[in-house]
């Protein structure tokens, strides 16, 4: 697949479940352009094992994303009815009750295809998809800025859960760069020293931080 970094986030208008229990028609990320950053992440399936740990972890830190002017939106290839059922199942029974951010139903799999995260091999003939393998979404995550441009992406294989702290760190880095114009070096965290985009600044940083 080709990277989506620096490109407009692929548009879609699809069904979703919002606020943990409400069906929404024509849900789109376009509503956040000019207003919020978006962390848009894909997961394979409802009612699985690694997936609830991720969705609940994002919910647990949702207030931190909101404080950073960022919304969280999830997506999988399940139907809106499957999402609704999972959202209304108690956590001690394998559910994710209490998750409040939107979950998009990519039942056609076209969103996953356009973001380059659909697992397995597939071809399209006469607008019909033919699959080899398991056609679910890989664990893709995309940080989309307020102009609707993708600034960060990471895609994990199905068994490998993601770090919510790393997603927050990348939001901090994007916000810092947008506000200050400086660039963020390796392992940068909010409050740490950043760099001007010059050779002198890099040399000074490396000298100051050498072991």
* Nearest 10 degrees: Cα torsion 99, 8, 137, 155: -90
What does the block give as tokens for 128?
A: 């019909």
| Cβ–Cβ < 8 Å for 116, 100 | no
What stretch of H or E contains 129? strand 128-132
Check residue 191 and report its DSSP letter. Answer: T
Catalytic residue among 9, 16, 38, 51: 51
Question: In 49-163, where does DSSP find H-type helix?
Answer: 50-60, 62-67, 80-87, 110-114
Residue 184 a catalytic site member: no
Residues belonging to the active site? 51
């Amino acid at each position: 697949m080709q990277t989506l970094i620096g490109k407009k986030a692929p548009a879609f208008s699809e069904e979703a479940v919002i606020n943990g229990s409400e069906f929404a028609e024509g849900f789109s990320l376009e509503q956040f352009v000019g207003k919020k950053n978006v962390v848009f992440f894909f997961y394979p399936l409802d009612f699985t094992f690694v997936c609830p740990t991720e969705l609940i972890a994002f919910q647990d830190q949702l207030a931190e994303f909101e404080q950073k002017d960022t919304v969280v939106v999830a997506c999988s290839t399940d139907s809106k009815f499957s999402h609704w059922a999972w959202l209304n199942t108690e956590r001690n029974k394998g559910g994710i009750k209490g998750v409040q951010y939107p979950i998009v139903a990519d039942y056609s799999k076209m969103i996953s295809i356009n973001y380059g995260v659909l697992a397995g091999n597939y071809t399209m003939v006469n607008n019909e998809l033919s699959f080899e393998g398991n056609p679910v979404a890989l664990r893709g995550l995309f940080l989309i800025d307020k102009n609707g441009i993708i600034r960060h992406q990471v895609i994990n294989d199905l068994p490998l859960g993601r770090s919510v702290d790393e997603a927050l760190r990348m939001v901090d880095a994007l916000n810092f760069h947008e506000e200050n114009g400086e660039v963020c070096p390796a392992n940068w965290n909010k409050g740490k020293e950043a760099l001007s985009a010059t050779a002198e600044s890099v040399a000074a940083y490396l000298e100051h931080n050498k072991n």
